[in-house]
Amino acid sequence: MEQLILKYLNKELTSTEERELQSWLEEDSLNRQVFENMVSHWELSDMEVNAYKQRVFDRVMQSGPIPVIEIENNSAWSNAWKVAAVILLAIGLGFVFNHMENQIQPMMAVVEQVLIEKEALFGQKLTFELPDGSIVKLNSGSKITFPKAFDADQREVSLIGEAFFDVTKDPQRPFRIATDNIDVTVLGTSFNVDAYVDNKSAVVAVKTGKVAVVDKNGKDEVLLLPNQQASLSKQDLKFKKQQITNSESVFGWLDQTMMFDDDTIDEIIITLERWYDVEVEITAKLDKKKKFTAKYKNPTLRAVMESLSYAYDFKYELKDKTVIIK
C-alpha cells in the first residue's frame, strides 16, 4: 500500500490503482486517518517541517535525556524511504500530540487543517456531506478538495470536473468554489458547476438562491438567479448569461438522466467515457458536424450505442472496457 500512496503523492496512479487505494481507504477509518496525515505532512514546506521538528525536539528535551541515534546521510534515498519517513513523522507527531496536548496546542493545527480529497472515477457518482452540512453530488471523472474543518470566516473548496452543491446557509461564512477558470461565491443555495478540464467552457447553473461567478482574472463577474446559467468560454474568456430552457440537460445527471442537446459525436463520446468508464476507439469515418439530441433514463451502454449507431450509421463492438466504432 505504501507504493500506491507514493504514486498518489506523485500523481502517477492508474485508474485501477486509484480504485484499489479508494477501496483500502473505505475499509477502515484508521486507514483514512493515516493517509490524511501522510498527505498533510508530505505537502508541508521545508520551513514548516523544520519549525515543527524544532518545537517537538524542545519539548522532548525538557522531559529529560534521550538516546541519540545517528543516521548515515545518503543522497540516494529512494522515494520508498521518503514515504517511510513521512509515515514515521506522522506517527511521531501524533504520539507527541496525544501526550502533550495541553502544552503544545498550536501544533494540533497540523492535523486539524488536513485537506480531504473526494474523487468520482469514470463510471462513478458520489454523494457526500461537507463539514458544514452542505451536500455535494460529484459527477464521473471529477475531484473536489476541501479542509477537514472550514475556517471561521469562509468556506472554500476546489473543484475539477462537475458537481452539484446544496449549500447550507451561513451569512457569516461565504461558500466559495475555485476551479481552473472561474470562482463561484454563495451564501446558501443549490447550483451546478461544470468545470471539466477538457470542456470548451466552464458553466454554472443555479437551481435556487443567488450565485456570483467571477473569472480567474477578476475582470468579469455575473450574478445568477434561479433558472439562470453563465458559461465562460475558455477561448475568449467572456461570460455568456442566459435562461435555462431545458433543466434536464443541466441537472439530469443527478437522477441518472443522460441528456444530449444538439451535441456532436465528439462531445457525446466524452460523456460516454466518463459515464461508463470506457475508452471509445473510432475506426470509421463519422460526420463530426452532425448534431444529436436524445434523452435516456439510467441507460445501459448498449442502449445508447444502439441509438447512436442508427443515427450516425456505424457498427460497433463492446470489448471489455473498450467501445470500437467501425
pLDDT tens digits for 145-202?
Answer: 999 999 888 999 999 999 999 999 998 899 999 998 899 999 789 999 999 988 889 9
Whether the per-residue pLDDT at 226 is higher than 70: the answer is: yes
* CB-based contact 25:37 (threshold 8 Å): no
CA–CA dist 222, 214 (Å, integer): 7
State what percent of residues in the chain have pLDDT above 70.
74
pLDDT at 78 (0 to 100) = 43
Domain ranges (residues) in the chain? 2-112, 115-248, 256-325
pLDDT at 214 (0 to 100) = 92
Q: Hey, what's the cell of 192? A: 451546478
Is there a shared CATH topology between the 115-248 domain and the 256-325 domain? no
The better pLDDT of the pair 21, 227 is held by 227
| Dihedral over alpha carbons 193, 135, 270, 308 (to 10 degrees) | -110
* CB-based contact 158:177 (threshold 8 Å): yes
Q: What is the pTM of this model?
A: 0.64
Q: Who's near 290: CB < 8 A, 6+ residues apart? A: 264, 265, 311, 312
3-state secondary structure of 321: coil
Compute CA distances 82 → 67, 85, 194, whole Å.
Answer: 23, 5, 37
**Pick from 153, 85, 84, 144: nearest CA to 115:** 144
Supply the DSSP string of 194-256, one letter for each residue: EE-TTSSEEEEEEEES-EEEEETTSS-EEEE-TTEEEEEETTT--EEEEE-S-HHHHHGGGGT
Q: Hey, what's the cell of 1? A: 500500500
Q: What would the pLDDT profile of 57-116 be if each residue is shown by its tens digit?
A: 555 455 555 444 343 344 444 444 444 444 445 545 454 445 444 444 444 444 456 889
Please, is 174 exposed, middle or buried when counting C-beta atoms within 10 Å of its C-beta (0-12, 13-18, 19+)?
A: middle
The better pLDDT of the pair 212, 94 is held by 212
CATH tag, 115-248: 2.60.120.1440
Compute CA distances 149 → 65, 113, 116, 169, whole Å.
Answer: 37, 7, 10, 16
pLDDT at 71 (0 to 100) = 38
For 256-325, CATH number out of 3.40.50.970, 3.40.50.300, 3.40.640.10, 3.55.50.30 equals: 3.55.50.30
